[in-house]
Amino acid sequence: MKRKKVSKRKTLLVLSAASLVLGAGSVYAAVGNPFETDLVGRQSDGSVLTPVNQYVTPAGRQVEFGGNPISVKVRPDGKTAAAIVGRSDYGGKGINVVDLRTGNLIQNSLNLSLSHMWGLAYSSDGSRLYATGSSGTTGKVVVLSVAEDGTLAILQTIDLPLATVGGNINPQDIAMGPDGKTLLVALNRDNSLGVIDLQSNQLVARIPVGNSPTSVVVSGNTAYVTNVGGRTAESGDLTVDSSGVPVVAEQTGSSASGTVSVVDLSSGSVAKSIDVGLQPARMTVSGSFVFVANTNSDTVSVIDTAKNEVVQTIDVEPYPDAPKGSAPNAVAMIGDGQLAVSLGRNNALAVYDWKGPSEAPRLQGLVPTAWFPVDLAVDSAGGRVLVANADGVGSLGPERTLTIQGISAEGHSSYAQQGSVSIVPFPFAKNDLVHWTDDVYANNNWFGVAGRNAKPRNNKKPAAMPERVGEPSPIKHIFYIIKENRTYDQIHGDMGKGNSDPTLTQFGENVTPNFHKLASTFPLLDNFYVSGIQSASGHQWVMQATNTDYEDKETDTGNVRSYPGGAGDSLAYASTGHLWDNALSHGRSVVNFGEDTTAFAGPENFGTWTDWYNDYLILSGQKQGDLHVPVGDYEAKTDIPSLDPITYKPFPTFDSGIPDQYRFEIFKQRFEQYVQNGDLPDLVQMWVMNDHTAGTSTGFPTPQAQVADNDLAVGKIVDLISHSPYWKDSLILVTEDDAQNGVDHVDGHRAPAYVISPWVKRDVVDSHYWTVINMVRTIEQVLGLPAMNQNDAAAVPMSELFTDTPDFTPYDFEPNRIPLDTLNGQPGANAAALANTAEATPEVQELEKLWTEWSNQNKDKFSGSNASPDETNANMLNHLTWYATKGFDQPYPGEDKVLTPAEAAEQPASKAEQ
């Protein structure tokens, strides 16, 4: 399709685009899906559709390569530039070097032997390049020589000590010291600025700064350090943990402080701490001013270095009255007084005419970039600005080819990232800015955004999907169910209709009869995408309709600092809040079953999966006896203050050692109380997650059994609701949080999703493009909640799926077709897998044994106090799940043989997980 655009009138002022946005407020913009039926990926017009409701059409010349570039730097001679990728399992190994005269890669994916990477800095003469990163738990600085043509060679790797709080010290941005003899490193998990002596190549000082330092710049003999986590907490502060450090926080869990530490390099001490916006990221120095990008406040702070005070705060509003959500994360001064600000969530640069702190800067226009720009570098001599686009063009890396029974299929993984660097000439001409601004508006679906968020009208008849937020609907209760980690093709490839590929099906109808029945009874959504790559980002997207710059970079660099796969880090929470915060602040009632909880603990021994399964049998009346853990003795916990009071504590958090049947029984008990009392909350959140599986760990169900358990639990939940008095005014929405544990023939982000209600069309295949952002917007539209941020403000609800002619026929769940208590290690446990095996030879049986041993070594990551989504090696678990479902003689997509655990562990994707 062609993106919606306005006519190109070259004499048009840039602000005319904004006026079109504002003007739409007087009339209602059509609710139809602006992305129509486009599939994620490259379009016929050259644009790329992402899984976050945005096209990208980057300006300038694009240099694409595997991986997620986190930093870009121009060599002092202006002839070449280097970009470093964040982790080694996204398709890149380290550094890419670009010839700026030709725009060609002259060195591709130089392997730094690091699993996590971040910062770059050239020496003043350009003869050395320094890079930061980690290998395992050891932080490192790599010293590289730079040849005349700009290509690199590794000279030495400097090992850094552990952080004060233990573990990886996590070095991030770096800068040359003013004397050229030292290197300054933001030691992120140590809350310090490191000083490395370049003669001895030793860390000689650690200067304490604020929480979670990330970026450092130098002006004279002073270093400025941004602290994403703000100031050190004091007695009486509300705090939420981030990687072992208490961060001053809001009730929503998000950080409430952002600071810049002013470090006197002569004395090696902090001279002053300056309050700036929330979660400050990268900076630039121009003359006597330091510009700071504040990602969670949508501002730029201007610091006068003579006073060391903020003398100006620039509000970033890509269009008038825009809500927060641009995530400015880098700044650069280009040309004559043009200030460029990288807007990570808008896939754009905002260009301001800056004439000093006494005059408000004028927004001259917007420049489109690729997906999620994170760093800027300026080639002043060549008149070029370079943009590092961390997500580039999305998961368009090499496809994996799979052939089964003579049928070939290509599979996409969400980890096959293709990043890019944009090379854009400057200064920017007015006509170019007009054209580019229109592109950015079209790419982000901002035309008509005021209409989509217009005030409700009086005396409107109820509609299943109201035209405007706040207008009435017969739907009064929404159930929002989050599951784990499956692609569309893994579940629905065998549907026989829709855009499905049977060769990639692992958990077909025999394993998931309810998901198949739901997809046939209600709309089959074959073009639905999750926005996160893994649980740490996925849960933020499904509950916030955004992801902080901090957490996106955490994902892109291998989660060195934390893994909030269902909460657990203050810095992962957006200042615009969560869905429940939005509901509560607008008078809606909410109850939470498991979502964003971090622990489930009580006085008794946890026991085994079988113990909890027996408790389910007792609770469901299928067995007599005493529960091994009385209901209520174990309680779910969360680190988010606003979530704790609305969380139903007996409902378990993530733990593969507890069957989803137990979760259903706990939900059923509480739901029946709501029915009896007539007090069901407006919004019911639920995390039902055993489709994640525990691999082939002994004592746990097989992957098929755990997915079947999840299928049955969701089927029972829908059955229970649909046979209750609340069915007539309820809507059930089901999504995965991410789709990383599988491949899909369209895109690695495509996932199964379900929209279930009497007010939803039945027995249709809907191929409109939808994402979890549209799902969040649907909840808001029905419950009368305003948008939280720019993403859901621009999104449309899933209106095409709804009808004002209800069908109140209830849903009857399908019984499981395979035993739920088929445990790994039992006789016949792998019958399903071995049934797909042409011949269960001794070699095949030995492979199955080796993979079972690997699962057992990692079982503490699936269940118990250390359980966490994706804590174990994702690449290896993906291999194991494939073998356990397809057969131990079926190579993983893209490979020509079945691997042993040791062989899979040697793959780059596995190395990066260590």
What's the pLDDT tens digit per position in 413-467?
Answer: 888 889 999 999 999 989 999 999 999 999 999 999 999 999 999 999 999 999 9
Phi, psi of 617 (to 5 degrees): -60, -40
The residue range of the domain holding 645 is 460-801
Supply the angle between the helices 703-722 and 874-886 in degrees, to the nearest 10. Answer: 90
| CA gap 347, 436 in Å, rounded | 12
- Yes or no: say if 199 and 181 are a contact pair by the CB < 8 Å rule: yes
661 in any annotated domain: yes
Chain centre to alpha carbon of residue 558: 12
Residue 189: name the closest of 222, 227, 216 by CA.
227
Alpha carbon distance, N-terminus to C-terminus of the chain = 42
**723: number of Cβ within 10 Å:** 12
Q: What is the dihedral of CA 110, 112, 113, 118, to 10 degrees?
A: -120
Q: Give the CB-side neighbour count of residue 712, counting CA atoms within 13 A.
A: 21
The pLDDT value recorded for residue 852 is 78
| CA gap 26, 31 in Å, rounded | 15
The pLDDT value recorded for residue 103 is 94
| CA gap 744, 400 in Å, rounded | 10
569 in any annotated domain: yes
Identity at 725, one-letter amino acid code: P
Indicate which CATH number applies to the domain containing 152: 2.130.10
Residue 15: name the closest of 289, 366, 345 by CA.
366
295 in any annotated domain: yes
Q: pTM, whole model, 2 decimals? A: 0.89
* Structural domains of the chain, count: 3
Helix H segments across 410-479? 430-443, 449-452
654 in any annotated domain: yes
Same domain, 624 and 687: yes
Same domain, 623 and 734: yes
Same domain, 381 and 406: yes
Beta carbons within 8 Å of 439's beta carbon, 6+ residues apart:
5, 57, 59, 368
Same domain, 443 and 490: no
Listed residues 785, 801, 817: the one ending a domain: 801
Phi, psi of 47 (to 5 degrees): -75, 170
245 in any annotated domain: no
Listed residues 753, 779, 801: the one ending a domain: 801
Contacts from 627-630 at CB under 8 Å and sequence distance 24+? Answer: 628/604, 629/602, 629/604
The pLDDT value recorded for residue 870 is 63
| CA gap 49, 394 in Å, rounded | 9
235 in any annotated domain: no
The pLDDT value recorded for residue 837 is 52
**Cα–Cα–Cα angle for 184, 190, 191, nearest 5°?**
75
Residue 283: name the closest of 198, 186, 211, 414 by CA.
186
Listed residues 420, 451, 482: the one ending a domain: 451
Same domain, 691 and 591: yes
Rounded average pLDDT per 10-residue block, the chain, 914 residues: 38 42 38 86 95 97 96 97 93 95 95 96 97 95 98 97 95 97 97 97 97 98 98 97 96 98 97 98 97 98 98 97 97 92 98 95 97 97 96 82 38 86 94 96 95 95 97 98 94 96 91 97 98 90 97 92 89 97 98 96 95 97 96 97 98 95 98 98 97 85 93 98 98 94 90 98 97 98 98 97 98 96 75 54 79 79 68 80 78 85 83 48
Write out the two tokens for 853: 């041993």
The pLDDT value recorded for residue 887 is 78
The one-character DSSP state at 39 is P
The pLDDT value recorded for residue 840 is 63
Same domain, 445 and 464: no
The pLDDT value recorded for residue 22 is 40
Beta carbons within 8 Å of 328's beta carbon, 6+ residues apart:
281, 293, 294, 295, 298, 299, 300, 316, 341, 342, 343, 344, 350
Same domain, 870 and 889: yes
Residue 330: name the closest of 387, 253, 273 by CA.
387
SS3 70: strand
The pLDDT value recorded for residue 741 is 82
| CA gap 619, 402 in Å, rounded | 44
Same domain, 428 and 464: no
Chain centre to alpha carbon of residue 266: 41
Residue 161: name the closest of 206, 214, 200 by CA.
206
- Yes or no: say if 100 and 80 are a contact pair by the CB < 8 Å rule: yes
Indicate which CATH number applies to the domain containing 506: 3.40.720.10
Same domain, 544 and 624: yes
Same domain, 517 and 397: no
- Yes or no: say if 674 and 721 are a contact pair by the CB < 8 Å rule: no
Element (H or E) spanning 753, and its range?
A: strand 753-756
Same domain, 359 and 486: no
496 in any annotated domain: yes
260 in any annotated domain: no
Same domain, 894 and 762: no
